[in-house]
């Protein structure tokens, strides 16, 4: 039998989109008493050499030792940059993040390079500067970013309040990094002056350990989460750092067990909110701080309990990992929806170790492929994430010995997240999404798609520009990249898609045998669109893509429009034919010349986050219906 019976999979959005399920994998694995009996106390779990074990560090750093020391040398005379009150307030005043974040980033980058260099060399040359950096951070009012602090503290301003300490992404990152610094260098800092390590330990207690145990209202803790609560990458990311701090600093068995179990309850909320199919609705460039951070958390938890508390055998955890390998198109391009970039998510060390933990050869081989593609880049360095840097060093040889490969699956279907990928032997790659317009990092993009040929983008999703205050405010959808008008979607009766959980797909159908994906877009649009039915169907064929819209309206108000975002400038060569270009590749789009009037708009990309991916501009092709009709069908074909 050449083919098994083709299965047409139907998943209705009322059941599949945002399918919240109380899984509680971690809490089912161990209660507080079981955690307490499993924990390895007094940092016995740490898998790295002590600072004085020079043979151990020579083995761990290997061929990277000289580079690590060379990079650290550059910061021996670094001048720590004071971040002023007005630097923080710039976010309130202008919405610009970089004024505060750039010097903050330079400071922490300097300290990370110094710490790694001293670990690699072990001669004490970097200790004074490390002490300066530690003292500098203890002098700061907060380790949180201006863009985040106002949401978490009582006084709603980007200027950190001296009255309280908040835990958010960056303060948690810095806390974890400084906890490792304390663990490795307490004795060496004591030789400089005992007040330095003593003050650092006190700061970590006041800034991380106490707030985490005494507060339950950091939104990312999600202790009171319901099926409607947004729980995203912040939860595993922050909890991973908090867990690290407790394991490196707290030696009271009862207090440590309570803290560890508390992180398990919180991280379970992220797992519960995540779909069992494993797709990351935030996209590949967020995977490293969503599923990737979940992996780090689970790995540290497993290390700390000698493998007794582990959920790596759960199929969903494996699905969450393999998403990153399956979402790779080729030549650096990835499937991007929502705020994700069309390039990104390439963390070979994390992907490799995750794959090893869940026994996925697909992930391990993909990690090896990424590593070899970026062999000239500094593999080991993960910025202020010292755990990842050390783990990268530890897994280096095993990664280099792994055979590289990337997924060539003809189709991939994520039934709950409603992502569909298809590729064929002619070099076409297609991806589309259903979902709903209240996903994490949401764009109003239900039903949108992308199309690549020979690993070159033709019809695209622009992604998102540089984050500003507007990005995560009530004005988010005034930004063009968030609007359905700037995705590969229709405008119905002059009306665009709206934001909210009620604006979603329905009647999803995926037929892998026929390479066909269809969905009803009606519910993604507000009532003003007067849409009774709008069924969009995509079918990937050997020579290209066929897109069909079948619709029924209750009234006509304005001409319908079909929008397409393109990497290259579309050229109208003849009535009914438009040439699409991308990286020297040309495709022919055919439409009914009696139905549509084409226009092309150039979209200048003045934002660096967009221009570094797409260049100076992208284009929007608009097909405007020549006549208004209550019932109709539009057919678009794209071929070589």
Q: What's the pLDDT tens digit per position in 255-280?
A: 999 999 999 999 999 999 999 999 99
On the question of pLDDT at 282 being above 90, the answer is no
Give the rounded percent of residues in the chain with a pLDDT score beyond 70. 97
The pLDDT value recorded for residue 161 is: 96
Are 361 and 355 a contacting pair, CB within 8 Å? yes
On the question of pLDDT at 8 being above 60, the answer is no
On the question of pLDDT at 513 being above 90, the answer is yes
Q: State the Cα–Cα distance between residues 24 and 29, nearest whole angstrom.
A: 9
The pLDDT value recorded for residue 228 is: 87
On the question of pLDDT at 434 being above 70, the answer is yes
Taking residues 450-469, report their average pLDDT: 96
The pLDDT value recorded for residue 10 is: 38
On the question of pLDDT at 5 being above 90, the answer is no
On the question of pLDDT at 4 being above 90, the answer is no
Contacts 24+ apart (CB under 8 A), 297-300: 297/236, 297/239, 297/240, 297/243, 297/263, 297/267, 298/357, 299/353, 299/357, 299/391, 300/240, 300/243, 300/244, 300/247, 300/387
**And the tokens for 618?**
């992208």
The pLDDT value recorded for residue 7 is: 36
**And the tokens for 517?**
């994906």
Using the structure block, give the residue that is written with the tokens 């004005």: 475
Q: State the Cα–Cα distance between residues 277 and 323, nearest whole angstrom.
A: 9
pLDDT bucket at 14, cuts 50 / 70 / 90:
very low
The pLDDT value recorded for residue 20 is: 76
Between CA 290 and CA 422, with CA 483 as vertex, the angle to 5 degrees is: 60
The pLDDT value recorded for residue 63 is: 93
pLDDT digits (tens, 9 = 90+) for 16-40: 445 678 999 999 999 999 999 999 9
Are 438 and 500 a contacting pair, CB within 8 Å? yes
pLDDT digits (tens, 9 = 90+) for 83-129: 999 999 999 999 999 999 999 999 999 999 999 999 999 999 999 99
Three-class DSSP category at 524: helix
The pLDDT value recorded for residue 345 is: 78
Locate CATH 2.70.98.70 in the chain. Answer: 418-639
Q: State the Cα–Cα distance between residues 311 and 291, nearest whole angstrom.
A: 13
pLDDT bucket at 376, cuts 50 / 70 / 90:
low
What backbone torsions phi and psi does residue 284 show, to the nearest 5 degrees?
A: -60, -35
pLDDT bucket at 6, cuts 50 / 70 / 90:
very low
The pLDDT value recorded for residue 151 is: 87
For the domain covering 418-639, report its CATH number. Answer: 2.70.98.70
Q: State the Cα–Cα distance between residues 399 and 425, nearest whole angstrom.
A: 29
Taking residues 500-527, report their average pLDDT: 97
pLDDT bucket at 582, cuts 50 / 70 / 90:
confident
Those residues whose C-beta lies under 8 Å from the C-beta of residue 193, and which sit 6 or more positions away, are 131
The pLDDT value recorded for residue 379 is: 87
DSSP alpha helices (H): ranges in 193-309?
194-204, 210-214, 234-249, 253-273, 284-287, 291-304
Are 578 and 564 a contacting pair, CB within 8 Å? no
pLDDT digits (tens, 9 = 90+) for 173-205: 999 999 999 999 999 999 999 999 999 999 999
On the question of pLDDT at 481 being above 70, the answer is yes
The pLDDT value recorded for residue 19 is: 60
Q: State the Cα–Cα distance between residues 273 and 271, nearest whole angstrom.
A: 5
Are 364 and 356 a contacting pair, CB within 8 Å? yes
Q: Which residue has the higher pLDDT, 6 or 589?
A: 589
The dihedral sign for the CA sequence 210, 213, 219, 220: positive
Q: State the Cα–Cα distance between residues 65 and 155, nearest whole angstrom.
A: 46
pLDDT bucket at 625, cuts 50 / 70 / 90:
very high
């Amino acid at each position: 039998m050449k083919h098994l019976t083709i299965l047409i999979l139907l998943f209705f959005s009322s059941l599949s989109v945002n399918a919240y399920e109380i899984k509680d994998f971690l809490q089912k694995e161990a209660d507080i008493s079981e955690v307490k009996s499993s924990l390895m106390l007094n940092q016995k779990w740490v898998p790295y050499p002590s600072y004085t074990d020079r043979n151990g560090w020579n083995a761990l750093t290997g061929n990277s030792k000289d580079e690590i020391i060379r990079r650290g040398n550059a910061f021996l005379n670094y001048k720590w940059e004071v971040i002023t009150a007005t630097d923080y307030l710039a976010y309130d005043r202008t919405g610009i993040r970089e004024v505060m974040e750039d010097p903050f980033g330079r400071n922490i980058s300097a300290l990370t390079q110094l710490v790694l260099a001293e670990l690699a060399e072990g001669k004490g040359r970097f200790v004074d500067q490390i002490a300066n950096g530690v003292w500098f951070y203890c002098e700061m009012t907060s380790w949180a970013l201006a863009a985040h602090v106002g949401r978490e503290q009582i006084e709603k301003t980007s200027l950190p309040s001296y009255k309280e300490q908040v835990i958010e992404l960056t303060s948690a990152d810095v806390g974890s990094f400084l906890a490792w610094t304390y663990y490795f260098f307490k004795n060496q800092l004591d030789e400089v002056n005992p007040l330095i390590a003593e003050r650092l330990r006190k700061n970590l207690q006041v800034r991380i350990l106490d707030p985490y145990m005494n507060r339950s209202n950091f939104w990312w803790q999600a202790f009171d989460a319901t099926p409607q609560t947004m729980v995203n990458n912040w939860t595993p990311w922050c909890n991973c750092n908090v867990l690290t701090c407790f394991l490196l600093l707290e030696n009271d068995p009862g207090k440590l067990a309570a803290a560890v179990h508390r992180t398990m309850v919180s991280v379970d909320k992220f797992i519960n909110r995540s779909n069992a199919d494993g797709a990351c609705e935030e996209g590949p460039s967020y995977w490293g701080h969503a599923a990737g951070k979940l992996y780090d958390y689970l790995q540290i938890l497993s290390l700390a309990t000698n493998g007794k508390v582990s959920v790596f055998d759960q199929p969903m955890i494996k699905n969450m990992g393999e998403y990153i390998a399956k979402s790779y198109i080729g030549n650096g391009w990835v499937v991007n929806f929502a705020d994700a970039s069309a390039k990104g998510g390439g963390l070979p060390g994390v992907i490799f170790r995750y794959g090893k933990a869940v026994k996925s050869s697909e992930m391990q081989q993909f990690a090896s492929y990424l590593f070899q593609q970026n062999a000239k880049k500094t593999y080991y360095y993960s910025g202020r994430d010292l755990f990842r840097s050390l783990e990268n060093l530890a897994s280096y040889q095993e990664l280099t010995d792994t055979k590289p490969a990337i997924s060539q699956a003809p189709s991939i279907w994520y039934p709950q997240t409603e992502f569909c990928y298809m590729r064929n032997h002619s070099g076409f790659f297609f991806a589309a999404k259903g979902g709903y317009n209240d996903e994490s990092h949401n764009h109003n993009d239900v039903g949108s798609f992308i199309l690549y040929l020979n690993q070159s983008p033709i019809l695209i999703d622009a992604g998102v520009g540089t984050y500003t205050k507007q990005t995560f405010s009530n004005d988010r959808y005034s930004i063009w990249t968030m609007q359905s008008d700037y995705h590969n979607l229709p405008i119905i009766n002059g009306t665009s898609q709206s934001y909210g959980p009620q604006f979603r797909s329905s009647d999803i159908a995926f037929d892998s045998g026929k390479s066909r994906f269809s969905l009803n877009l009606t519910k993604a649009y507000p009532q003003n669109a007067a849409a009774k039915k709008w069924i969009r169907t995509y079918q990937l064929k050997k020579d290209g893509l066929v897109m069909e819209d079948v619709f029924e309206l209750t009234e006509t108000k304005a001409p319908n429009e079909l929008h397409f975002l393109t990497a290259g400038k579309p050229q109208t060569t003849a009535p009914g034919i438009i040439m699409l270009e991308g990286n020297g590749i040309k495709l022919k789009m055919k439409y009914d010349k009696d139905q549509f009037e084409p226009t092309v708009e150039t979209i200048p990309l003045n934002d660096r986050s967009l221009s570094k991916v797409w260049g100076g501009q992208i284009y929007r092709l608009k097909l405007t219906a020549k006549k208004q009709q209550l019932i109709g069908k539009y057919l678009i074909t794209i071929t070589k």
